[in-house]
């Protein structure tokens, strides 16, 4: 059984910052790519940021220069530092990871954490 648990969401004023964390747990052999997605009301889920197991990153154009994804491979954790937040960043943020278990590789999602940015 593998679980991803996000934390760090909340309500913040425009221009503020939040740091999201994602902690995988369970029988994990290794983790490859880790992502942060978000889904705003009435919109499709979109990729916000991605980091590979060797630290290569890429970002959605809408967050470049404001968000930073990072990971701690020793702890299997991934983070999303969000600065200069805008009301349009309001969404449920999800962690996703490619995880290798005894049974092989799988893609797992967290339950999501709400980020609300007030104007």
Structure tokens at 87: 């009301």
| Per-residue model confidence (pLDDT) at position 1 | 85
| Per-residue model confidence (pLDDT) at position 45 | 98
Calpha distance 118→2 (Å, rounded) = 34
Nearest to residue 71, comparing CAs of 86, 85, 100, 51? 51
Q: Is 88 helix (H, G, I), strand (E, B) or coil?
A: helix
| Per-residue model confidence (pLDDT) at position 99 | 97
Print pLDDT tens along the chain (119 aa). Answer: 899 999 999 999 999 999 999 999 999 999 999 999 999 999 999 999 999 999 999 999 999 999 999 999 999 999 999 999 999 999 999 999 999 999 999 999 999 999 999 99
Judging by DSSP bridges, how do beta strands 10-13 and 113-118 pair with one another? parallel
């Amino acid at each position: 059984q593998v679980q991803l648990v996000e934390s760090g969401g909340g309500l913040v004023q425009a221009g503020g910052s939040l740091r999201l964390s994602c902690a995988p747990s369970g029988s994990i052999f290794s983790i490859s790519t880790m992502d942060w997605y978000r889904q705003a009301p009435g919109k499709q889920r979109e990729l916000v940021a991605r980091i590979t197991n060797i630290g290569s990153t890429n970002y959605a154009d809408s967050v470049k220069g404001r968000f930073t994804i990072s990971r701690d491979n020793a702890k299997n954790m991934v983070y999303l530092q969000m600065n200069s937040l805008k009301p349009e960043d309001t969404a449920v943020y999800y962690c996703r990871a490619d995880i290798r278990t005894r049974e092989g590789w799988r893609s797992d999602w967290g339950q999501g954490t709400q980020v609300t940015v007030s104007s």
